[in-house]
Amino acid sequence: MDGAALLGVKLFGLVGAGLAFVVWQWRDVARAQARSAQACQAAAEAGAAPAAVASGPAAPTGLRGRVILVTGAGSGMGAAGVLALQRRGAIPVLLDCDAHTLATTAAALAGEVLTITADVTSAAACEDAVARVLARHGRLDMVWANAGVASFGPLAHTDPAAWRRCFEVNVFGVFNTVRAALPELLRRRGYVLVSASVSSFAHPPAMSAYAGSKAAVEAMCNAWRIELAGHGVRVGVVHASWVDTPLMSEGALHPAFRRLRATMPALLRRETSAADAARVIADGVDRRAARIWVPGWVRVLHWLRALLHTPLAERELRRAAPEIEQHYLDGLAGSGALASSFGPREFERAERRRDAAR
């Protein structure tokens, strides 16, 4: 059997296995939704009073009254997520490094919510945040480590500080957040959710820091899921594709990033709104899901991840890589390495950190 035929057989087998697994997973999701509906009906028959939350659908019993700490809650998926979670009866606590966006998000929620301005790269700040949650609410049931940044640029030219910062926030920030919350989550037999990405298993050129950091947190969660299962704590990962957030909008300003996206088929370039992503995530949190796919077809890519970095799959990216690098170098000449490696918001934060260090 020649190489092409062998590859065809492998692809056919993987797709067949993938489709079978889709049916299996959908069956489990349907059963979980049926159990949730039965629980809601039982609560209604018992005369349980609904919690006072923002307008929206009735809250499933799985989230009603649960306190969840959400990092990166000032914008994007985090901001949309806390609204969706509150509408289902959860009590969100908002944490972000940007006090202005944090206040804007809090103003859209019902009641007075606890907001915390902090940098997740500080373990002490994360510990203080958990202490404030417990002082205010007396409990912490869930944590969603969602704070993240992206840096962009080829290995030879990207700013090392930007590359390092991506790991500090996306990896060590997740560790600091989950580690600080863990004692209370162990007491409550709670839930940990971490925002990874499609980039945790599909690794595009010029995004090595972002892809590497998201691959790291996926691996961390896989290990933690096993470690904590015996303690009754569940661990989940969000694998999101393109979601309409400020991070995406800033990326679209860079010609090299636009060229990168153009290498993908139209279906894979399609964006999901932050509100739609938040609804999917809230559903997953309600089920304490091990993996949450945004949108649903991302799970198929995950199952076929071994094929994503074969020569055939990488062909368009390899063709585009020199052009992506040239676009980056053009920006580098005009703006410098740091501005070319970060979006506008993170660039401003980096400049403030530099000024403070002087």
User: Element (H or E) spanning 68, and its range?
Assistant: strand 67-71
* Under 8 Å between Cβ of 212 and 167: yes
Show Cβ contacts of residue 185 under 8 Å, excluding neighbours closer than 6 positions: 140, 141, 142, 143, 191, 192, 233
What is the identity of the amino acid at 141?
D
Measured between alpha carbons, how far is 94 from 129 in angstroms, rounded to an integer? 10
Query: Which of these is catalytic: 10, 191, 214, 328?
Result: 214
**Cβ neighbours around 352 below 10 Å, total:** 10
Helix axes 311-335, 255-262, angle to 10 degrees: 170
Q: What is the DSSP letter of 98?
A: -
Whole-number Å distance between alpha carbons of 253 and 256? 9
What are the tokens at 230? 């015996």
Q: Calculate the CA dihedral of residues 44, 50, 53, 54 and round it to 10 degrees.
A: 50
Rounded to whole angstroms, how far apart are CA atoms 353 and 358? 9
Pick from 167, 164, 147: nearest CA to 98: 147
Active site residue 328: no
For 116, phi then psi, to 5°, come to -135, 120
| 214 is an active site residue | yes
Return the active site residues. 210, 214
